[in-house]
Structure 1
Amino acid sequence: MPTLALKVQADLQNVTRLIPSDGVDSAILIKLECNSCRETHPNAVLLDPSNVAEMQRGRGEANLVMQCPNCRHENSATYVVRKPGGKGDLKLGEIAPWSELDAEKMSQWQTLCTVDFRGLTPLEPQIDALLPDGATWTCYGTESGTKFADVQFEDGEWHDYDEKAGDEVGIADVRFQWQKI
């Protein structure tokens, strides 16, 4: 499977710079399908950028190495990040795998993260279930710069009030798609 970008589009009301709160160490939960047997893994699988596991037979490292419970084929997934100062150079774990989502560009699909899948196909995630239990999102007020550090989605939406700006803030209609790059 090729390298895929997790693209996001949402309605951001008076907020910008949406990103997982744990920064570099933010993990995501994704449903995966094995490309060999087309069986969908029964549970969402944790893809953690701080986890680096050796692949069998010395074929390198990945953030997720797993055997399909059905066909026993070894599959892997690795976050892809740009090296500091490198134009197109990609390398595992050099900097944060996350890109902040900008309110001014939310009418377009924006890349949240990029992952190289080997033997796996990711299924479309939902905002409520993308981060592990207890993990939150962070965003900032567009006018005031107020930091909202504990953003948790309920039924795909989040709403709050920005005291400094005197405005309601919120995020709704969050859509995801995996796109080949």
Structure 2
Amino acid sequence: MPRIGLEVSIDAENIAKVEAVGNDFRYFVKICCGACGEITDWVYLDQEDTVEVKGGRGLANMVLNCKLCGRESNISIEDGSRVAYDVEKGGFQQIVSFDCRGLEPVEWECRGGLVATTEKGKKFEVELEDGEWYDFDDDASESISVTNIQNQFKKLKGK
């Protein structure tokens, strides 16, 4: 069972952390079938949605039948794997990991739903427009922003 981590890099101004909040946060991904290499259109998964896996093998956040080869595969968000992006650290940081069985995420698109927290703890809902978000923190009298969100997937070892 391969584990795949989603790593992101974010440029932010006057923000301490950026995170996906709530079990209903949707990760929009394109997924590659491990059997034939077919890549899906955009699909999403979140921790609230669960589907039974055939043969009584438990639950997954998404079960897919490949349109090309018909193989059934599944993917789940690993419990406890979601963490905030720490702006001070910078660079690529893993924000979530997936348990992938027969498929692999190959692209991620952030479509909003993130929360940005200032260094003083004030939270802002990030609504991306063309991949960027700008606002003004009245309490601190400074502009704030989240821009240049980049991502990559990395195969993880162990459980």
TM exceeds 0.5? yes
The answer on whether the counterparts of 1:10 and 1:174 sit within 8 Å (CA) in structure 2 is yes
The answer on whether the counterparts of 1:24 and 1:98 sit within 8 Å (CA) in structure 2 is no
Q: Does 1:141 align with 2:118?
A: yes
- How many residues align? The count is 156
Between Structure 1 and Structure 2, the one with more strand by share is: 2
1:71-111 residue CA offsets vs partner (Å, 9 max, x unmatched): 110110011124xxxxxxxxxxxxxx5211111112x3211
RMSD of aligned Cα (Å): 1.6
Aligned to 1:113: 96
The residue type equivalent to 1:105 in the other structure is K
The answer on whether the counterparts of 1:30 and 1:123 sit within 8 Å (CA) in structure 2 is yes
1:123 to 106, 111, 117: 106
Give the alignment's TM-score, normalised by structure 1. Answer: 0.80
CA distance in 2, matches of 1:46, 1:10: 21
Give the alignment's TM-score, normalised by structure 2. Answer: 0.90
Structure 1 residue matching 2:7: 3-state secondary structure? strand
Q: Does 1:16 align with 2:16?
A: yes
Aligned to 1:32: 31
The answer on whether the counterparts of 1:138 and 1:147 sit within 8 Å (CA) in structure 2 is yes
Between Structure 1 and Structure 2, the one with more helix by share is: 1
CA distance in 2, matches of 1:30, 1:109: 18
The residue type equivalent to 1:103 in the other structure is V
2:43 to 25, 34, 45: 45
Structure 1 residue matching 2:131: 3-state secondary structure? coil
CA distance in 2, matches of 1:156, 1:46: 18
Aligned to 2:84: 100
CA distance in 1, matches of 2:114, 2:104: 25
The residue type equivalent to 2:86 in the other structure is D
